[in-house]
Homo-oligomer: A and B are copies of this chain.
Amino acid sequence: MHSIGKVAILTVLGQPVPDDVFQVVTGQVGSMSVEKVVAAVETAAKREGLIAADHYRGEHALYHAVLEALHGVCRGQLELGSILRTAGLKFAVVAGPRDADRPEEGHWLAVALYGYIGAPRRGFEHEVIGLGINHL
C-alpha cells in the first residue's frame, strides 16, 4: 500500500497516513545554517529511537539521507545564510521497509523536508521539498 518515501512526504505535508508498519518522527527547524537543519533531524531521530544513538552506522545512514533531502531544498548549493537566504522547514524521518508490501528487503530510512526558502524577509519566499532515502 505505502512506500517509505510517500509516507515521509505526506507526513511532512501534514496529510494523515494511517499506517502501523513505519516508525515516524516529525519536527521543524528554521535557520540560515545548514548544519542546524542536519542537527535538528539527527537529534529527533535519535531521541525517538529511529537510529541508535551510540553507533556510527545509523548516524552515517541518516546523515547521507538528510544531505540528499537538502539537495531538493537547496537546488544546487548546500548553502543558506552564506548565499543570503533562510529556510523554515518541517521534517519527517521514517524508518521501515522501502515498501510496506515488501518487508523482506530490510530496514531503510527516509527523510522529507518541506517548507519555505527565501530572503530573510517575511513573505519573500517560496516552497521547497526534499527527500533522501538510504538503507539502514
Please name all residues of chain B whose beta carbon is closer than 8 Å to the beta carbon of A124 when the two chains form the complex. Answer: 56, 59-60
Q: Is the C-beta of A4 less than 8 angstroms from some C-beta in chain B?
A: yes
List A residues 30-67 near B (Cβ within 8 Å): 33-35, 38-39, 42, 55-57, 59-61, 63-64, 67
Mark A70-84 against chain B: 1 for CB-CB distance below 8 A, else 0: 011111111101111
CB atoms of B64 and A64 under 8 A apart: yes
Count of interface residues, chain A, beta-carbon cutoff 8 Å: 60
For A5, give the chain B residue with the smallest CB separation: B127
CB atoms of A129 and B72 under 8 A apart: yes
Please name all residues of chain B whose beta carbon is closer than 8 Å to the beta carbon of A56 when the two chains form the complex. Answer: 98, 105, 118-119, 123-126
**Most chain B CB inside 10 Å of its own CB: which residue of A67, A72, A79:** A72
Q: For the complex, what is the distance from the CA of A42 to the CA of B133, rounded to whole Å?
A: 20
Q: Is the C-beta of A9 less than 8 angstroms from some C-beta in chain B?
A: yes
For A133, give the chain B residue with the smallest CB separation: B126
Instruction: Knowing A82-B33, A105-B56, A126-B5, say if A63 contacts B131 (CB, 8 Å).
Output: no
Q: For the complex, what is the distance from the CA of A106 to the CA of B57, rounded to whole Å?
A: 8
